[in-house]
Amino acid sequence: MQGLSPVHAHISSRGWKEVLGAMEIGPMTWQEWPWVAALTASTAWKHVSAPLRAEVSPEWVAARVQQSLLGLLGQPGNVALVAREAGRPVGYLVVTFLPDELTGVTTGLFWDIWVEPAWRGRGVATSLTHAGEAHCRAMGVKLIRRYIATDNQPSLHHAVRDGNRPERVMYEKVL
Ligand SMILES: CC(C)(COP(=O)(O)OP(=O)(O)OC[C@H]1O[C@@H](n2cnc3c(N)ncnc32)[C@H](O)[C@@H]1OP(=O)(O)O)[C@@H](O)C(=O)NCCC(=O)NCCS
């Protein structure tokens, strides 16, 4: 996580200044890890396919994704960006890098994004993804992907507003 300067999101241009004040976005600190770890586990459980839920427990999935995230954050370039208002975390975005499966070209992956419910609809996620894009550009990456559950309307809406388009859609069949 070294080498990434804190990004100060100036949101006054979109008219939210009076709501958000001066929000700062920067790399996650170790004190923020329990908060990120709990939320990433909660989001992960929501993404577990219904037929697989009977095979595992939320605790099992939590342990797996938290271990994965710690492993990812130990690799150069990957970063968890945290948005803070008056020093308190209100949202985060995990930015990772991986080779495209067909070309091997390095791509960015927005691994997880979360905004505290009280702060939603105010542009926090958009500020986070803009900061994530700046980091990806600085890493020389030209394409960013993200996985979104097909029923997650807020996240789908945010992604489209953020300039994303659907690439491939994953289908599943329950046996
Ligand atoms: C998805 C999420 C990160 C969006 O965060 P946010 O800070 O509220 O998003 P923003 O305020 O930047 O909104 C961006 C756009 O999405 C829209 N949006 C946000 N929440 C919405 C909702 N519930 N319904 C419809 N549109 C919504 C905003 O209106 C805005 O569009 P606009 O510019 O046309 O008004 C937030 O809802 C969240 O944390 N959800 C739970 C975690 C989650 O599902 N993460 C994604 C996993 S793939």
Residue 116 Cα: closest atom of ligand 1:
39
Site to substitute for ligand 1 among 157, 160, 164, 170, most atoms within 8 A of C-beta = 157
Q: How far is the CA of 120 from the centre of ligand 1 (A)?
A: 6
**pLDDT of the residue at 21:** 65
- DSSP H stretches of helix in the chain: 17-20, 33-47, 50-53, 58-73, 124-138, 153-161
CA–CA dist 163, 175 (Å, integer): 36
Q: How far is the CA of 157 from the centre of ligand 1 (A)?
A: 7
For 27, the enclosing helix (H) or strand (E) is: strand 23-27
**pLDDT of the residue at 22:** 75
pLDDT tens across the length of the chain (175 residues): 333 444 444 443 443 333 456 799 999 999 999 999 999 999 999 999 999 999 999 999 999 999 999 999 999 999 999 999 999 999 999 999 999 999 999 999 999 999 999 999 999 999 999 999 999 999 999 999 999 999 999 999 999 999 999 999 999 999 9
Q: pTM above 0.85?
A: yes
Q: Which fold has domain 7-161?
A: Aminopeptidase (3.40.630)
Q: Per-domain residue ranges for the chain? A: 7-161
Structure tokens at 63: 């342990």
Residues 6+ apart with CB under 8 A from 149: 46, 47, 155
**pLDDT of the residue at 69:** 98
> Which residues have any ligand 1 atom within 6 Å of their CB?
43, 113-115, 120-126, 148, 152-155, 157-158, 161
